Structure 1
């Protein structure tokens, strides 16, 4: 799943591919906000993105459905 992180006063959003479920990511952000600490996510390759929790403007979750390949869904009937 891809998580896009909007950061206050930043023109671009951060994009992280993660194995975590949306509920787990939201719980982690909520805990970081309570603790007034840094919100961090680690991607599938082990890279970590960290943002001060109070600067997170939004999280946007997208499902990784893959790209369609080929010329469409051609049904073969026999």
Structure 2
């Protein structure tokens, strides 16, 4: 699934893919904002993404990433 975080005062968003579900990512972001703690997620390559909750401008939590195979038909 694709995730995009907008960070305050930073021009470019942080974009990554994760194996976590939409509900897991949404819950992690909501809990972090509520508790004033950093948002901590793991991307699909095993790297940790840590963003201070007070620096988070927005979060776009996408649907599951599906890779097309072949040439597609009409």
Instruction: Check whether TM > 0.5.
Output: yes
Misfit runs of 4+, over 4 Å: none
What are the within-5 Å matches in structure 2 for residues 1-78 of structure 1? 1-63=1-63, 64-67=65-68, 69-70=70-71, 72-73=72-73
Contiguous gaps of at least 5 residues in structure 2: none
TM-score (normalizing by structure 1)? 0.78
Contiguous gaps of at least 5 residues in structure 1: none
Cα distance in 2 for partners of 1:50, 1:19 equals 16
TM-score (normalizing by structure 2)? 0.81
- Could you report, residue by residue, the CA deviation over 1:38-77 in whole angstroms, capped at 9, with x for unpaired residues? 111101211011110111111112331224543x416xxx
SS in 1 for 2:73: coil
Query: What RMSD, in angstroms, separates the aligned Cα atoms of the two structures?
Result: 1.7
The structure with more radius of gyration: 1
Cα distance in 2 for partners of 1:62, 1:38 equals 20
Cα distance in 2 for partners of 1:27, 1:61 equals 11
